[in-house]
């Protein structure tokens, strides 16, 4: 199959180079004035170590470089790009920790990060990977200032603090390319709250000092190299302490305990469902699976155990965070994201094309879509017509659909309908099969004792 060339919209701001994505790789052009430094870094021990351990995107020089010419590099394409507003607090914290780890290793070897934002990091399954090679530059050993410190605070620490202490969702960062300014939060905090951690150091002092002093140039701040290095390391350690203070788990929600409290599944029902899913995965053999409504990721991990690479969507932050923590513990190839199939993340940024929409990143990317115990939520809560669900689902999978049918007679369906049973009486299993059979061929079906049915479809 021929590679498909795609523009990478987020790269157009980079003054050092550009990036074009193809189906299975990224082609990076480094402008001539930055080429020699980039090659030197790639040959450094820190770059080789980080690439070998999978923490830095692998890089290959595409052709022999000549002085004065642009440098051409190739990277493997991480399967599914995501943005920080689709992450859980624990994922954003892991990306921040990775950024500090890299900066610390760089400083110890004469380099530094010139910017520090979540957009420099992608997740490969549950593992964060630093992908912006051109964020690394040579460091002046007598300069004690990390110029990207403020950006790290705005894009990592303040969103985490606002999420943990004020209840602001990370999804509110959509469209905020450079995070929160301390002044924004200062005016929303009470006088006493401003003096408490973490707000005192992250918001109050920067606002007070910003209003009372002029910004000094890095030249006026120069120190002997050992002193400058000590100050710089102290800054990174301080940021790491702040990160740990502002990072809080997403806690519990109604859905985060679903698997333990789901009384509408007997042990036999649950085992039958698990066995059917495993059998379908074995029969279909998908390489890439999208699990919509994944909850805490049990079936996502079942799919990963079958050898698939899995992207798992759920609209609930707490359940998605649990899914990611389970993924990390199991080292499973699963990427959990906070994503609502009924209200997918839109495109954002310059020309509404700098950050791709969730659906644009997903169409035709998966060999199988799994929708287990989620269709009735789309039909009742989101009131999406079943024909539309079938049509969009077909756009996402190029091979298989594994789906659970829950009809109006089901107790949970009736709970969702909340006395509006007549509005949904037309939603029979026959209607479901008729709608989905426009796009799919039925392959397997099993009925659980609780009345729910599971279906494996193949794309027509």
d(CA 55, CA 44): 15
Q: What pLDDT, on the 0 to 100 scale, is given for residue 262?
A: 61
Q: What pLDDT, on the 0 to 100 scale, is given for residue 1?
A: 35
For residues 149, 155, 156, 157, the Cα torsion angle rounded to the nearest 10 degrees is 70
Q: Return the residue matching tokens 């490969």.
A: 124
d(CA 73, CA 16): 13
Structure tokens at 412: 């949970």
Structure tokens at 448: 């659980």
Instruction: List, for the chain, all residue ranges whose pLDDT scores fall below the cut of 70.
Output: 1-11, 211-220, 250-263
The answer to whether 305 and 328 have CB atoms below 8 angstroms apart is no
Find all residues with CB under 8 Å of 101, minimum gap 6, and list them: 55
Q: What pLDDT, on the 0 to 100 scale, is given for residue 98?
A: 98
Q: What pLDDT, on the 0 to 100 scale, is given for residue 141?
A: 93
Structure tokens at 330: 């199991």
The answer to whether 405 and 324 have CB atoms below 8 angstroms apart is no
Q: What pLDDT, on the 0 to 100 scale, is given for residue 4?
A: 43
Specify the 3-state DSSP secondary structure of 189. Answer: coil
- pTM listed for this prediction: 0.92
Helices 89-107/317-330 angle, 10° precision: 50
Does domain 258-459 match CATH 3.40.50.150?
yes
Specify the 3-state DSSP secondary structure of 440. Answer: strand
Q: What pLDDT, on the 0 to 100 scale, is given for residue 8?
A: 54
The region, left, alpha or beta by phi > 0 then psi within -120 to 50, assigned to residue 440 is beta
Q: What pLDDT, on the 0 to 100 scale, is given for residue 7?
A: 47
For residues 303, 449, 373, 335, the Cα torsion angle rounded to the nearest 10 degrees is -20
Sheet holding 366-371, edge to edge: 334-338, 309-314, 288-292, 366-371, 397-405, 453-459, 440-447
d(CA 30, CA 36): 9
Nearest one of 421, 422, 429, 431 to 446, comparing CA atoms: 429
Q: How far is CA 448 from CA 128, 276, 402, 406, in A?
A: 39, 10, 15, 11
The answer to whether 251 and 318 have CB atoms below 8 angstroms apart is yes
d(CA 205, CA 216): 17
The answer to whether 255 and 316 have CB atoms below 8 angstroms apart is yes
Specify the 3-state DSSP secondary structure of 403. Answer: strand
For residue 35, give the DSSP letter.
H
Burial class (CB in 10 A: 0-12, 13-18, 19+), 128: buried
CA gyration radius, the chain? 25
d(CA 346, CA 303): 27
Positive or negative: CA dihedral 387, 388, 389, 392: positive
Q: Which residue blocks in 45-186 are alpha helix, DSSP H?
A: 45-52, 89-107, 149-152, 158-166, 182-186
The region, left, alpha or beta by phi > 0 then psi within -120 to 50, assigned to residue 295 is left
**Chain centre to alpha carbon of residue 26:** 19
Specify the 3-state DSSP secondary structure of 299. Answer: helix
Looking at the structure, give the CATH architecture of the domain made up of residues 6-76.
2-Layer Sandwich (3.30)
d(CA 403, CA 454): 6
């Amino acid at each position: 199959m021929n590679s498909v060339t795609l523009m990478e919209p987020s790269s157009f701001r980079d003054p050092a180079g550009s990036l074009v994505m193809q189906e299975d790789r990224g082609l990076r052009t480094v402008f001539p004035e930055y080429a020699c430094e980039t090659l030197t870094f790639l040959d450094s021990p820190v770059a080789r170590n980080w690439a070998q351990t999978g923490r830095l995107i692998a890089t290959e020089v595409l052709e022999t470089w000549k002085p004065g010419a642009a440098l051409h590099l190739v990277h493997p394409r991480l399967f599914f790009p995501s943005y920080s507003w689709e992450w859980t607090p624990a994922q954003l914290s892991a990306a921040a920790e990775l950024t500090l780890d890299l900066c610390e290793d760089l400083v110890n070897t004469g380099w530094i990060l010139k910017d520090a934002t979540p957009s420099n990091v992608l997740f490969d399954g549950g593992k964060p990977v630093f992908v912006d090679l051109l964020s690394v530059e040579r460091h002046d050993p007598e300069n004690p200032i990390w110029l990207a410190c403020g950006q790290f605070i705005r894009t990592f620490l303040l969103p985490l603090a606002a999420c943990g202490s004020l209840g602001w969702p990370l999804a509110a960062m959509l469209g905020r390319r450079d995070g929160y300014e301390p002044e924004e939060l200062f005016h929303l905090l009470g006088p006493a709250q401003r003096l408490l951690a973490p707000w005192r150091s992250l918001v109050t002092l920067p606002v007070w000092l910003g209003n009372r002093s002029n910004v000094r140039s890095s030249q006026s701040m120069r120190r002997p190299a050992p002193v400058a290095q000590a100050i710089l390391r102290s800054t990174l350690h301080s940021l790491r302490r702040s990160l740990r203070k502002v990072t809080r788990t997403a806690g519990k929600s109604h859905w985060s305990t679903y698997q333990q409290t789901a009384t509408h599944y007997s042990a036999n029902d649950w085992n039958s469902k698990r066995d059917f899913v495993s059998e379908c995965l074995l029969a279909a053999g998908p390489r890439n699976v999208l699990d919509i409504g994944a909850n805490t990721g049990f079936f996502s991990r079942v799919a990963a155990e079958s050898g698939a690479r899995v992207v798992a969507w759920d609209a609930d932050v707490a359940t998605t965070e649990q899914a990611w923590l389970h993924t990390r513990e199991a080292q499973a190839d699963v990427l959990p994201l906070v994503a609502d199939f009924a209200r997918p993340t839109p495109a954002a940024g310059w020309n509404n094309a700098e950050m791709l929409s969730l659906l644009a990143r997903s169409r035709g990317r998966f060999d199988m879509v799994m929708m287990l115990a989620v269709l009735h939520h789309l039909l009742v809560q989101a009131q999406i017509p079943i024909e539309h669900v079938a049509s969009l689902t077909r756009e996402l999978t190029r091979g298989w659909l594994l789906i659970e049918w829950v009809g109006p007679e089901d107790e949970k369906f009736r709970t969702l309908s909340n006395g509006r049973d007549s509005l949904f009486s037309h939603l029979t299993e026959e209607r479901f099969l008729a709608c989905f059979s426009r796009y799919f061929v039925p392959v397997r079906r099993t009925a659980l004792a609780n009345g729910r049915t599971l279906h494996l479809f193949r794309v027509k």
